[in-house]
Structure 1
Amino acid sequence: MNGKVTTTRTKLERGRSALGPALELVHTGRAPTRAVLTSELGVTRATAGAVAAELEALGLIRVDSSPGSAAGSQGRPSHRLAVRESGPVALAAQVHSDGFRAALVGLGGRLVATAPGCVTITADPAQVIGEVVDDCARLLRDSGLRCVGAGLAVPSAVAEPEGTALNPLHIAWPAGAPVREIFATCVREAGITGPAFTGNDVNLAALAEHRHGAGRGAQHLLCVATGHRGVGGALVLDGRLHTGSSGLALEVGHLTVNPEGRPCHCGGRGCLDVETDPLAFLTAAGRAPGPEESLLKQSGDLLRNEYADAAVRNAAEELIDRLGLGLAGLVNILNPDRIILGGLHRALLDADPERLRAVVADRSLWGRSGSVPILPCTLDHNSLVGAAELAWQPVLDDPLGALA
């Protein structure tokens, strides 16, 4: 009798330990059916069915009892699995030099609702973060959905474990601003339940792309992006962000690509940060930035709509060559199996993909014998989705414990 009880308990514990891995498989789209879930988890069909049923009871996924099968498959078709559209959400917020945005994000990286956002960022981080949390709280009240936590993306390296923004160069916040403490306090005072997290915007964009976008399936994913100002980079290794010993890894914006180039905020000269961002492109094309739209939108529109203009094309080629130099150096150091580009860099790749790939291949050690795929990011608002991933992670690690 005791043996049977022990066996039953062991099966139950094994099933519960599989809840997190199972939820992550559904969350990232890698287990669209119960049969795939069974195979990926390496468990029996009965255990996979019990795990799926428990995740459904928690309100996280939906199990379609009308089974479907892929074309050409044999045997009994399997039940379909999907995230529950009416399930819990994470609050997500992003601050950048041209404003901020708030959103609710469900499992699967699905944007449930977004607020229009603000276009003015003051020098007081507490005021800005307080306003963005107010927007988050309004979205949550209007939705009536359960909240699992909150995440904030900021345009700065975020030191760990303090959660301070060390170099918010393109917004007027003081260096070392305690953004995580401010965000957590604002979330708590707004009556929002769940933990609060903060991270660098490009790190979070890379995490989102790895789970839901152009980086899915990569083992060593390098992301380089330029948003409204500056350049950032991130590395995702085996599904987890590589942030270094104190959160400051992959500050790729300060790689020198033009020794005689523009002075950089870091004290150097000719860094990627000032040689390949939207302001650099507008300047190289001889266009004065206008005050009415973000620099990212102005540069993207110019590249897409006026590429036939010689000045615009020459400016694009100049930035592509410098970006390629930086990417080649990173390939030599990091040996990624995929590179994804965001912001203006994505638009530059779209404008002349062969030129960029040729520069990287020519300057990287192994470029000619085994070139690294270079792809555009595919998610809209990937930093917002990545901020939500921080809040979803405790649930993915332990669904029962996080939702108890």
Structure 2
Amino acid sequence: MNGKSTTTRTKLERGRSALGPALELVHTGRAPTRAVLTSELGVTRATAGAVAAELEALGLIRVDSSPGSAAGSQGRPSHRLSVRDGGPVALAAQVHSDGFRAALVGLGGRTVATAPGCVAVMADPAQVLGEVVEAGARLLRESGLRCVGAGLAVPSAVAEPEGTALNPLHIAWPAGAPVREIFSACVRAAGITGPAFTGNDVNLAALAEHRHGAGRGAQHLLCVATGHRGVGGALVLDGRLHSGSSGLALEVGHLTVNPEGRPCHCGGRGCLDVETDPLAFLTAARREPGPEESLLKQSGDLLRTEYGDPDVRAAAEELIDRLGLGLAGLVNILNPDRIILGGLHRDLLEADPERLRAVVADRSLWGRSGSVPILSCTLNHNSLVGAAELAWQPVLDDPLAALA
């Protein structure tokens, strides 16, 4: 083989090895133009152009070769890059204590279609997962879009590598239910192509927020959130979820913040899980939970519309102080560079941001730790978007192999 052929093959291999990193840059919004893509990948303009063209040929991105120049700018504007409308999607599913939801999510974290499901979760995980997958399969049939895989978010720690839900405390599933195996079987039975994945709902919310929302750009991101019941936490380090040796890291809901507090499902007392979740707020505010709406929605609506009521304000301050105590402990241990809050915790932050930040600062060991930014999650249905991220990951790793 002559030298020219060898050089051509080397350039082609280098370009193809850059497909995954290039797609992730466009997917996360970090390469809006071909010039930025060239810089981020550290390749030549020609290689970046070839990579972008191949991703476009795969139906994943759109390359705009004639973008308008900004007023007063000089020189030829760089080609703009964006995820393609009408491209492939991932099937995302979420189960929580008040029901389930299915969605189709494209690159860029874009939710293409959603299908709300039941309002009560049955005790048989196979029945629930079969129904949520069928809801997703209907969305796929109606859309006619290609599916790259499926992801499921569950309100439980998910043990690795088995994919079992160890402690689904707020739904009536048996401990150790093989949710990944069941979900995968349901996906195959529905005729959906691509691999199937399962993860903890707050872990997946953190992953989605890191790639597309309030956590973008953080190196050490701590996420703490209420679900429809209970409290969860997650840590993203250098873009990767920190899940521990077996998937069980960051069970922050079982930090004690009130030693004389309510009994917790874990056997302890006064855990974040029972002291700062929606039911705890409604109880502290002397409100009777209604059966017609989720506890998360009831508590959020109450906080936003009746904060002037003395009982509601007192309840909010009580929960803020306990949440701040828990966050300060986590800051002391983990030293994150950003905290994001979801669910009711986001609403508590927005109701009285100074109080929460003051509690965290007061309880932090180091003044530097006390100044860590605390922000609200910004994505709608971030656990669903995170479930889709699991399904998109093989494509981000190797687009050619995943879409072959």
* TM-score category, normalised to shorter length: over 0.9
Tell me by how many angstroms 1:181 deviates. 0.2
CA gap 1:188/1:290 in 2 versus in 1, 3 angstroms? same
CA gap 1:72/1:124 in 2 versus in 1, 3 angstroms? farther
Q: Deviations over 1:178-237 (max 9, x none)?
A: 000000000001000000000000000000000000000000000000010000000011
Aligned partners of 1:70, 1:162: CA distance in 2, in Å? Answer: 53
Tell me by how many angstroms 1:251 deviates. 0.2
CA gap 1:80/1:220 in 2 versus in 1, 3 angstroms? same
TM-score normalized with structure 2 length: 0.98
Identity of aligned residues (%): 93
Aligned partners of 1:148, 1:191: CA distance in 2, in Å? Answer: 12
Tell me by how many angstroms 1:118 deviates. 1.3
Aligned partners of 2:69, 2:38: CA distance in 1, in Å? Answer: 15
Tell me by how many angstroms 1:150 deviates. 0.1
Tell me by how many angstroms 1:361 deviates. 0.4
- Root-mean-square deviation (Å): 1.1
Contact residue 332 and residue 369 of structure 2 kept, 8 A: no
Tell me by how many angstroms 1:366 deviates. 2.0
Q: Deviations over 1:328-348 (max 9, x none)?
A: 000011000000000000000
CA gap 1:21/1:122 in 2 versus in 1, 3 angstroms? same
Three-state SS of the structure 1 residue aligned to 2:66 is strand
> Which range moved further: 94-103 or 367-376?
367-376
Tell me by how many angstroms 1:121 deviates. 0.5
Aligned partners of 2:44, 2:73: CA distance in 1, in Å? Answer: 20
Tell me by how many angstroms 1:75 deviates. 3.1
Aligned partners of 2:177, 2:249: CA distance in 1, in Å? Answer: 19
Three-state SS of the structure 2 residue aligned to 1:85 is coil
> Which range moved further: 109-118 or 319-328?
109-118
Tell me by how many angstroms 1:6 deviates. 1.2
CA gap 1:255/1:63 in 2 versus in 1, 3 angstroms? same
Structure 2 residue aligned with 1:167: 167
Q: Deviations over 1:266-320 (max 9, x none)?
A: 1111000000000000011111111111000110011011100011000000000
Aligned partners of 1:380, 1:118: CA distance in 2, in Å? Answer: 19
Three-state SS of the structure 2 residue aligned to 1:30 is coil
Tell me by how many angstroms 1:69 deviates. 4.7
Tell me by how many angstroms 1:163 deviates. 0.2
Tell me by how many angstroms 1:369 deviates. 6.8
CA gap 1:198/1:71 in 2 versus in 1, 3 angstroms? farther
Aligned partners of 2:11, 2:371: CA distance in 1, in Å? Answer: 46
Q: Deviations over 1:362-381 (max 9, x none)?
A: 00112457610000000000
Contact residue 362 and residue 370 of structure 2 kept, 8 A: no
Tell me by how many angstroms 1:65 deviates. 1.3
Structure 2 residue aligned with 1:217: 217
Structure 2: unaligned runs, 5 residues or longer: none
Tell me by how many angstroms 1:2 deviates. 1.7
Aligned partners of 1:398, 1:368: CA distance in 2, in Å? Answer: 40
Tell me by how many angstroms 1:76 deviates. 2.1
Contact residue 68 and residue 78 of structure 1 kept, 8 A: no
Aligned partners of 2:219, 2:68: CA distance in 1, in Å? Answer: 30
CA gap 1:121/1:242 in 2 versus in 1, 3 angstroms? same
> Which range moved further: 65-74 or 328-337?
65-74
Tell me by how many angstroms 1:73 deviates. 5.3
Number of aligned residues: 404
Tell me by how many angstroms 1:70 deviates. 5.3
Three-state SS of the structure 2 residue aligned to 1:72 is coil
Structure 1: unaligned runs, 5 residues or longer: none
Three-state SS of the structure 2 residue aligned to 1:375 is strand
